């Protein structure tokens, strides 16, 4: 095993080990500060970050605004306060070691306002900003304003080229690194393009090499690339270390810090990760963001899969094969289905899925009355946690703050479920993000007998390469 040496990143020498950001109260200042204190790059999440009361208890994010816009303002205020809180804790725990990064998603609601608010309120505490989920062209401009390094998250050289030409070339001195997030291996939301098949993963080496070749054309041969997704034992990546073809490489760990003593997630979640099997993590298309995302295939995802299968195409008038009448809703508004689909509908209704909900794509999905009430309530309670949400049809841009389409019942309220699981909610009935290598917790002798390490112990173990 090659020696794992420090690399130059963000103006200092650090271990090439980066903690991946996990949003909605999961990557906290506690874990971030300990990771940085061990000499690496710690990351806290700026997505719905927690604040605490005087006794150190989490202040749950409760919304009282009567309109979506009013609740969105509350969300932004919560985000700024929570981000500052987590930055302060990370800074205190790091004791001047390593680097402290804040992770934001450009497509989260109020992203620019929250990012600016946290950077203003935590001046001097944050060394870098990692940002993905969309095309964050303004990231460089904001970083220059606050004199922090920035780390765009991309899944291809093509995406980075677009960012560089439009914006980043103007603030090249603060580009601390580029995160390559593998769209088939990383947990959370993934950047699969329309030309890439979710069922046909591509080897990361060639994709990262293309990214490096593109960066060299821009004079960025010495800017680190951070490999994110699928990294477990560094001995498996030995040919990447000190490889002149790839240039300086660091490795990001997103899922593994979940199972540490400083991780805020509940014991049930940690124990579930320790018992996963190959294939238990699903790359699925149900997110209200429109991106694919990787999560544990639990009852929550199985329900979404089944809901999407209970779906039929409709026509507002009889045309082609749509010759069978069907009445939708209490008023029985007529639509037309294919006769075979009508038979399927009758079978679903007999099984209790009696409520037909319209989608933006001229289809109906069938759910139980209880599910229908929950879906409609979640859509009504929307607080604009995304810049655009297909589940609730919210968009944070006026004049009417909707995307012009019907709200889509085939998706779900992501803020509700992630807040719930992050604060002790049931793990089988909430979205549980994880990388595709999470099953390796159960195969790694480091975790034998249910051992849960501290962050410091985890970093030390990773540094052995094994």
pLDDT of residue 273: 96
Q: Are 251 and 151 contacting, i.e. CB atoms less than 8 angstroms apart?
A: no
233 Cβ contact partners less than 8 Å away, ≥ 6 residues apart: 465, 466
Segment 432-461, tens digit of pLDDT = 999 999 999 999 999 998 899 999 999 999
- Is residue 464 within 8 A of residue 5, CB to CB? The reply is no
Write out the chain's pLDDT in tens, 466 residues: 788 999 999 999 999 999 999 888 999 999 999 999 999 999 999 999 999 999 999 999 999 999 999 999 999 999 999 999 999 999 999 998 999 999 999 999 999 999 999 999 999 999 999 998 777 889 999 999 999 999 999 998 999 999 999 999 999 999 999 999 999 999 888 877 777 888 888 899 999 999 999 999 999 999 999 999 999 999 999 999 999 999 999 999 999 999 999 999 999 999 999 999 999 999 999 999 988 999 999 999 999 999 999 999 999 999 999 999 999 988 899 999 999 999 999 999 999 999 999 999 999 999 999 999 999 999 999 999 999 999 999 999 878 999 999 999 999 999 999 999 999 999 999 999 999 999 999 999 999 988 999 999 999 999 998 8
* Residue 190, pLDDT score: 84
On the question of a cis peptide bond just before residue 261, with omega within 30 degrees of 0, the verdict is: no
Query: Which DSSP string corresponds to 259-291?
Result: SSTT--S-HHHHHHHHT--TT-EEEES--TTSS
Give the integer Cα–Cα distance in Å for 260 and 44: 15
Residue 130 phi/psi, 5° resolution?
-100, 140
Residue ranges and CATH numbers for the domains of the chain are: 7-279+437-464 (3.20.20.70), 299-422 (no CATH)
Predicted confidence at residue 191, as pLDDT, reads: 79
d(CA 464, CA 258): 20
pTM of the model: 0.93
State residue 464's pLDDT score: 93
Helix and strand counts by DSSP (H, E) for the chain: 12, 18
How far lies 314's CA from each of 307, 325, 376, in Å? 17, 10, 21
């Amino acid at each position: 095993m090659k020696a794992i040496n420090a690399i130059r990143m963000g103006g200092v020498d650090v271990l090439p080990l980066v903690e991946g950001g996990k949003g909605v109260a999961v990557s906290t200042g506690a874990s971030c500060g300990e990771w940085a204190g061990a000499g690496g790059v710690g990351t806290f999440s700026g997505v719905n970050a927690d604040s605490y009361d005087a006794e150190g208890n989490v202040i749950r994010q409760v919304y009282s605004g009567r309109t979506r816009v009013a609740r969105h303002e509350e969300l932004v205020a919560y985000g700024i306060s929570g981000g500052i809180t987590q930055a302060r804790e990370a800074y205190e725990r790091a004791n001047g070691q390593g680097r402290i990064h804040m992770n934001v998603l450009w497509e989260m609601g109020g992203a620019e306002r929250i990012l600016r608010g946290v950077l203003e309120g935590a001046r001097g505490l944050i060394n870098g900003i990692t940002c993905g989920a969309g095309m964050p062209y303004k990231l460089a401009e904001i970083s220059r304003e606050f004199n922090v390094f920035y780390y765009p998250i991309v899944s291809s050289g093509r995406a980075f080229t677009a960012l560089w030409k439009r914006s980043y070339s103007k603030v090249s001195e603060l580009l601390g690194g580029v995160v390559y997030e593998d769209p088939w291996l990383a947990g959370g939301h993934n950047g699969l393009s329309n030309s890439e098949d979710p069922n046909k993963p591509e080897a990361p080496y060639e994709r990262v090499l293309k990214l490096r070749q593109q960066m060299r054309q821009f004079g960025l041969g010495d800017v680190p690339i951070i490999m994110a997704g699928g990294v477990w034992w560094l001995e498996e990546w030995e040919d990447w270390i000190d490889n002149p073809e790839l240039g300086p490489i660091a490795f990001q760990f997103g899922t593994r810090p979940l199972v540490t003593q400083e991780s805020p997630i509940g014991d049930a979640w940690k124990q579930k990760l320790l018992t996963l099997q190959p294939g238990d993590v699903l790359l699925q298309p149900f997110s209200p963001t429109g991106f694919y995302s990787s999560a544990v295939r639990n009852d929550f995802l199985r329900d979404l899969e089944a809901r999407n299968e209970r779906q039929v195409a409709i026509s507002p008038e009889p045309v082609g094969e749509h010759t069978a009448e069907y009445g939708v809703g209490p008023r029985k508004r007529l639509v037309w289905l294919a006769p075979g689909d009508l038979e399927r509908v009758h079978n679903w209704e007999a099984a209790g899925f009696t409520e037909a909900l319209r989608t933006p794509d001229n289809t109906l999905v069938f759910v139980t009355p209880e599910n229908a009430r929950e879906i409609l309530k979640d859509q009504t309670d929307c607080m604009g946690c995304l810049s655009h949400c297909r589940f609730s049809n919210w968009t944070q841009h006026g004049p009417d703050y909707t995307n012009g389409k019907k709200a889509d019942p085939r998706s779900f309220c992501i803020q509700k479920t992630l807040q719930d699981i992050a604060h002790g909610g049931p793990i089988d009935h909430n979205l549980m993000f994880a990388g595709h290598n999470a099953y390796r917790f159960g195969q790694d002798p480091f975790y034998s007998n249910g051992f849960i390490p501290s962050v410091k112990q985890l970093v030390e173990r990773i540094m052995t390469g094994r």
